[in-house]
A and B are shown apart, each in its own frame.
Chain A
């Protein structure tokens, strides 16, 4: 593996370290929000457990960074919320749960499934299995929450926000051209999905899991479908 790919692998694990530590703070707050909203204890407990899981996941990311002789970044200490401030309390909570669990954690599961299929290193495989086992619950939390919230809240307010959530989850550059090493197949052995594969997985998961999931709750997904179509068209140009 060339050095550029090794550096990219370390960079991705460093970003994941931040994602995990930030998610830990968010899940703790979301659990308390659910408790305040009167959600079932099972969901509150799941959120609390997810917060603890994410701390453990961050420790795995740090171990992998150290094993690659890469710097471990400082943990995320800011509790960040992404939804518009002018939403009502229940809407704001719902926005954050959907962005975290229904989109981010659900899409992350697809990444983990792909990495698990490709993993050869026993330690990496063990870590990925542990993460996947936990992330299933983190994603289910969001869909379970929607099942509870749908009888208490008009979920149609989510529709115009879904493309922005989908955009944010991909970061700045997933649908932009990357350096050659970003598509190095050897990245998979280091626990990183090559960029072109990542784009395909992201859109496929949106089509086969996230969008049908929202439609289970009668949430209009037309703007999200349009967003996905635009990205697919952009990909044709990008990969031609």
Chain B
């Protein structure tokens, strides 16, 4: 697999995967009467200063 093919495999493959899901398997979104969540993520540690994303492999 060459680098140029990665766009097709990863990006278009990802969007295709979503299309294959259809709308039928979504989790119920928070209802109108439900207050918006304070956070969708648990409390996590703070990375060292200056690190704003995970390392590549």
Do the beta carbons of B51 and A139 come within 8 Å of each other?
Answer: no
Contacts of A93 in B (CB 8 A): 40-41
Do the beta carbons of A139 and B10 come within 8 Å of each other?
Answer: yes
Give the contacting residue for A168; candidates B4, B10, B55; CB below 8 A. B55
Do the beta carbons of A140 and B17 come within 8 Å of each other?
Answer: yes
Complex: chain B residue closest to A161, CB-CB = B52
Beyond A41-B25, A89-B37, A147-B18, whether A29 also contacts B42 by CB under 8 A is yes
A201 CA to B57 CA, complexed, in Å: 13
Q: In the assembled complex, how far is the CB of residue A178 from the closest CB belonging to chain B, in whole angstroms?
A: 16
A37 at the interface (CB under 8 A from B): yes
> Interface with B: A66-74, A95-103, A118-126, A223-231, which one?
A95-103
Do the beta carbons of A104 and B56 come within 8 Å of each other?
Answer: yes
B33 at the interface (CB under 8 A from A): no
A125 CA to B49 CA, complexed, in Å: 36
Which chain B residues (25-52) contact chain A, with CB distance < 8 Å? 25-30, 36-42, 44-47, 50-52
Q: In the assembled complex, how far is the CB of residue A220 from the closest CB belonging to chain B, in whole angstroms?
A: 17
Per-residue B-contact encoding for A15-50, CB less than 8 Å = 1, 0 else: 110010011001001101111111111111010000
Complex: chain B residue closest to A36, CB-CB = B40
Give the contacting residue for A40; candidates B9, B21, B51; CB below 8 A. B21
A63 at the interface (CB under 8 A from B): no
A141 at the interface (CB under 8 A from B): yes
Do the beta carbons of A26 and B54 come within 8 Å of each other?
Answer: yes
A109 CA to B47 CA, complexed, in Å: 24
**Which of A34, A108, A109 has the most chain B CB atoms inside 10 A of its CB?**
A109
A127 at the interface (CB under 8 A from B): no
Do the beta carbons of B52 and A96 come within 8 Å of each other?
Answer: no
A158 CA to B15 CA, complexed, in Å: 19
Contacts of B46 in A (CB 8 A): 80-81
Complex: chain A residue closest to B17, CB-CB = A144
> Interface with B: A2-10, A181-189, A207-215, A232-240, which one?
A207-215
Give the contacting residue for A92; candidates B4, B21, B40, B56; CB below 8 A. B40
Beyond A40-B27, A209-B7, whether A108 also contacts B56 by CB under 8 A is yes
A143 CA to B11 CA, complexed, in Å: 6
Q: In the assembled complex, how far is the CB of residue B6 from the closest CB belonging to chain A, in whole angstroms?
A: 5
Q: Across the A-B interface, give the 6 residue pairs with the lowest CB-CB distance, nearest first.
A: A143-B14, A38-B29, A108-B57, A99-B53, A168-B53, A140-B14
Instruction: Beyond the given A108-B57, A202-B56, please list 14 additional residue pairs across the A-B interface where CB-CB is below 8 A.
Output: A19-B55, A33-B41, A35-B27, A41-B21, A82-B47, A82-B53, A103-B53, A104-B55, A113-B6, A145-B14, A148-B18, A168-B53, A168-B54, A168-B55
